């Protein structure tokens, strides 16, 4: 995984959700929504993100990635 990759994160409240990787530091992967990713790029700022332990974040294949809706949370 690298910055900008689409991933699935396991959340307690919503189950699996699609997110974008913002940064990786050790075992923590910082992620945000697609909407926040695009807004931050447009506004030339860092995305507002949350850190997840890498065991709860899984890569998404390019073929499957953009066919699933992105949660708004």
Any domain includes 72: no
Domain count, the chain: 1
**Residue 39 CB-density burial (10 A; 0-12 exposed, 13-18 middle, 19+ buried):** middle
Average pLDDT value for residue range 33-61: 95
Q: Does residue 70 form part of some domain?
A: no
- Over residues 21-48, mean pLDDT: 96
Task: Identify the pLDDT of residue 73.
Answer: 47
Domain that residue 20 falls in: 6-65
Decide if 7 contacts 32 (C-beta within 8 A): no
In the predicted structure, residue 47 carries a pLDDT above the cut 80: yes
Asked whether residue 1 is domain-assigned, the answer is no
For residue range 34-46, list pLDDT tens digits in order.
Answer: 999 999 999 999 9
Q: At 61, is the pLDDT very low, low, confident or very high (cuts 50, 70, 90)?
A: confident
């Amino acid at each position: 995984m690298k910055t900008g990759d689409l991933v699935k994160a396991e959340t307690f409240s919503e189950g699996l959700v699609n997110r974008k990787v913002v940064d990786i530091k050790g075992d923590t992967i910082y992620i945000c929504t697609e909407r926040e990713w695009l807004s931050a790029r447009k506004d030339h700022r860092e995305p507002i993100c949350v850190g997840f332990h890498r065991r709860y974040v899984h890569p998404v294949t390019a073929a499957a990635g953009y066919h699933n809706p992105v949660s708004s949370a």
